[in-house]
């Protein structure tokens, strides 16, 4: 009977290859497209970091073949200072925009948000397709800078004017390279904005019956808050990008002060303010940090609960904390600017709010620990990476308490302490969440299981490796090692060089461990063990529909939700979990 009805309501995917896999409007295809885009980007980004690390640890070592990548940037395989800065800029831009913003939100979010809330697709499928392709073009424009004469820009991912606003007189890469960079970022903003609109409308209006907001898995909450944060912040970055582009090409002076003499040339600008860019940029830039980490928080909460076989500890507190982080995230941008020349009084205001944002972060940490407390932990690869996320988030978050205090920041700002801080908290932690999500959802995305043994080796290698890379950066940061330098030439830095070598070796080794993941990912896609319908015995709706997921997700019949998302080990229930759409009525659930 059920099958007959399904046939009536069933919707077929379009037939042609292009409409089905390339210009597809199917959220599952788009989710995978985003995922593989991010995977491609992260491989490039990591490769760039290898080159940088090799140069930092062994400045005289000639990396074979580097001059093929850039004949002027690395003549005779010797890396020039500007090429180092180009690599650094591209590493930062690629990682932050095309990996951390793309994979956890647009990748997993696209694939699993409609499945978890019981919808047939995103609200605006064609808009969704457009978001992806705009993002794709943005990445291509960015990568094109590697192939132009002057090479990629050298002004870092923050692109502070006047360095970024006055053209090639500021240095190699600041000509066409920087222009392409701004264009790429502006395009990325457009893609992100369209995507955010889609996420919000989908979450608010496409939930299936019974799926009220407080029954949504925390992943959906995280995607929702992230989308709202993205909606409000990317618009501002877009505005800043337009103004920067006009300064570069239109002769305006929004960010470029008057009376500059650069490389012996007096520039014709009327009197703009470099600090204005910093305000606009960080008004986006700080929320961006949360755009990168919030989906990871959602995924971590979801997975910790699933594999602890225990409801999320303090579900409501988790939701409120997400909201609080999202709101406070817009009020703290000035903490990137304590020593920028901004008024010291506002520095003080920003620092207090920044400390306040530590509170919801701490709440989340305690609740994660609370979720594990008294649970029955199944240590799958996904679970291990979720635990790794908590560990990294704590470590990276705590170093933020130093940087949030202006007097301490006046020493630590611009040192490797900052590098260690943000790599831990938004780099490694967010990537751990992506790994967790991959191991967890792979069966749903590809119908097969990933190899658990390889997964565990991958975890141990990555976990230990991440600490070996980034913990020493705290020490050299405290010792005063300045960041963004392509070489450490002075006597002061020389004693720290052995640590840089250590970090380099750790980075190369940890990078090599990631090859295990790549192998596992592609091998399992074709050769992995066939996945069961609900291999993790999880409760959320994506596990109620067969794999491969039908084109319309639920075969034309949407599930009805009767339970909260994390009903594990409910006393009196038949099994140790109650799926969200189960009609089983358990007395203890309401009481719990």
Query: Footprint of another protein on residues 301-320 (CB under 8 A)?
Result: 308-317
Residue 166's nearest CA partner among 262, 296, 46, 68 is: 262
Residues in 416-455 that interact with another protein by CB under 8 A? none
- Looking at 23, 156, 447, 454, which residue binds another protein (CB under 8 A)? 156
Q: How far is CA 399 from CA 409, 412, 475, in A?
A: 11, 11, 12
* Stretch near another protein under the rule CB under 8 A, chosen from 45-53, 129-137, 438-446, 467-475: 467-475
- For residue 574, state whether it binds another protein (rule: CB under 8 A): no
User: Cα–Cα–Cα angle for 229, 231, 232, nearest 5°?
Assistant: 70
Chain Cα centroid distance, residue 162 = 28
Residues in 117-136 that interact with another protein by CB under 8 A? 120-121, 123-125
- Looking at 22, 140, 147, 487, which residue binds another protein (CB under 8 A)? 487
- Looking at 69, 136, 168, 523, which residue binds another protein (CB under 8 A)? 168
- Looking at 290, 432, 569, 578, which residue binds another protein (CB under 8 A)? 569
**Residue 271 or 526 with smaller CB distance to another protein:** 271
To another protein, the closest distance from the beta carbon of 244 in angstroms equals 11
d(CA 192, CA 230): 7
Q: Name the strand (E) or helix (H) holding 261.
A: strand 261-262
Binding mask 77-116 for another protein (x = CB under 8 A): -xxxxxxxx-------------------------------
- For residue 146, state whether it binds another protein (rule: CB under 8 A): no
**Residue 39 or 416 with smaller CB distance to another protein:** 416
d(CA 448, CA 21): 20
Q: Are 451 and 524 in contact (CB under 8 A)?
A: yes
- For residue 246, state whether it binds another protein (rule: CB under 8 A): yes
Alpha helices in 153-175 (DSSP H): none
Residues in 373-402 that interact with another protein by CB under 8 A? 373-379, 384, 387, 390-391, 394-395, 398-399, 401-402
d(CA 157, CA 532): 43
Please state whether beta strands 265-266 and 261-262 pair in parallel, antiparallel, or not at all (unpaired).
antiparallel
- For residue 568, state whether it binds another protein (rule: CB under 8 A): yes
To another protein, the closest distance from the beta carbon of 482 in angstroms equals 5
Residues in 192-221 that interact with another protein by CB under 8 A? 193, 196-198, 200-202, 204-207, 209-213
- For residue 579, state whether it binds another protein (rule: CB under 8 A): yes
Residues in a beta bridge with 568: 577
Orientation of helix 429-446 relative to helix 27-57, angle to 10°: 140
Q: Are 371 and 304 in contact (CB under 8 A)?
A: yes
Count the residues of the shown chain that bind another protein, applying the rule CB under 8 A.
Answer: 202
d(CA 547, CA 376): 27
**Residue 43 or 231 with smaller CB distance to another protein:** 231
Residue 530 per-residue DSSP state: B
């Amino acid at each position: 009977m059920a099958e007959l009805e399904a046939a009536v309501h069933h919707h077929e995917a379009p037939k042609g290859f292009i409409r089905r896999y390339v210009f597809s409007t199917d959220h599952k295809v788009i989710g995978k497209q985003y995922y593989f885009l991010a995977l491609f980007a992260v491989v490039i980004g990591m490769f760039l970091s290898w080159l940088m690390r090799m140069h930092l640890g062994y400045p005289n070592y000639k990396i074979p073949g580097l001059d093929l990548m850039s004949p002027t940037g690395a003549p005779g395989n010797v890396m020039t200072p500007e090429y180092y800065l180009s690599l650094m800029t591209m590493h930062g831009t690629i990682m932050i925009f095309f990996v951390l913003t793309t994979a956890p939100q647009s990748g997993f979010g696209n694939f699993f948000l409609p499945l978890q809330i019981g919808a047939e697709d995103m609200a605006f499928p064609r808009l969704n397709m457009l978001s992806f392709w705009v993002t794709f073009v943005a990445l291509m424009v960015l990568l094109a800078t590697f192939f132009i004469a002057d090479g990629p820009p050298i002004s870092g991912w923050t692109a502070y004017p006047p360095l970024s606003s006055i053209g090639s007189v500021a240095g190699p890469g600041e000509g066409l390279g920087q222009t392409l960079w701004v264009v790429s970022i502006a395009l990325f903003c457009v893609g992100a904005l369209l995507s955010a609109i889609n996420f919000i409308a989908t979450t608010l209006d496409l939930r299936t019956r019974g799926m009220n907001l407080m029954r949504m898995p925390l992943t959906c909450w995280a995607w929702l808050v992230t989308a709202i944060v993205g909606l409000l912040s990317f618009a501002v970055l877009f505005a800043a990008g337009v103004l920067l582009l006009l300064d570069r090409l239109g002769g305006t002076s929004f960010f470029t002060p008057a009376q500059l003499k650069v490389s012996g040339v007096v520039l014709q600008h009327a009197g703009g303010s470099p600090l204005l860019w910093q305000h606009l940029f960080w008004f986006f830039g700080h929320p961006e940090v949360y755009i990168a980490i919030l989906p990871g928080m959602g995924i971590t909460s979801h997975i910790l609960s699933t594999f602890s076989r225990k409801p999320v500890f303090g579900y409501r507190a988790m939701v409120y904390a997400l909201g609080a982080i999202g709101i406070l995230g817009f009020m703290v941008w000035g903490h990137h600017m304590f020593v920028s020349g901004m008024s010291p009084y506002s520095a003080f205001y920003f620092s207090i709010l920044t400390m306040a944002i530590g509170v919801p972060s701490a709440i989340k940490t305690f609740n994660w620990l609370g979720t594990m407390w008294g649970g029955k932990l199944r240590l799958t690869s996904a679970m291990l990476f979720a635990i790794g996320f908590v560990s990294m988030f704590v470590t990276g978050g705590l170093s933020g308490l130093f940087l949030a205090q202006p007097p301490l920041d006046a020493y630590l700002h611009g040192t490797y302490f900052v590098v260690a801080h943000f790599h831990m908290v938004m780099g490694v932690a967010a990537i751990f969440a992506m790994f967790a999500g991959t191991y967890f959802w792979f069966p749903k995305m590809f119908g097969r299981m990933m190899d658990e043994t390889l997964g565990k080796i991958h975890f141990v290698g990555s976990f230990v490796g991440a600490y070996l890379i980034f913990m020493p950066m705290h020490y050299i940061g405290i010792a005063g090692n300045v960041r963004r330098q392509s070489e450490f030439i002075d006597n002061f830095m020389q004693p720290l060089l052995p640590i840089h070598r250590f970090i380099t070796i750790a980075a190369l080794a940890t990078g090599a461990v990631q090859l295990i993941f790549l192998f596992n990912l592609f091998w399992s896609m074709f050769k992995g063990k066939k996945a069961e319908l609900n291999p993790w015995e999880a409760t959320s709706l994506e596990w109620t529909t067969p794999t491969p997921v039908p084109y319309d997700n639920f075969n034309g019949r949407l599930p009805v939700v009767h339970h909260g998302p994390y009903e594990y080990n409910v006393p009196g229930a038949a099994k140790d979990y109650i799926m969200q759409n189960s009609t089983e009525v358990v007395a203890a659930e309401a009481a719990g």
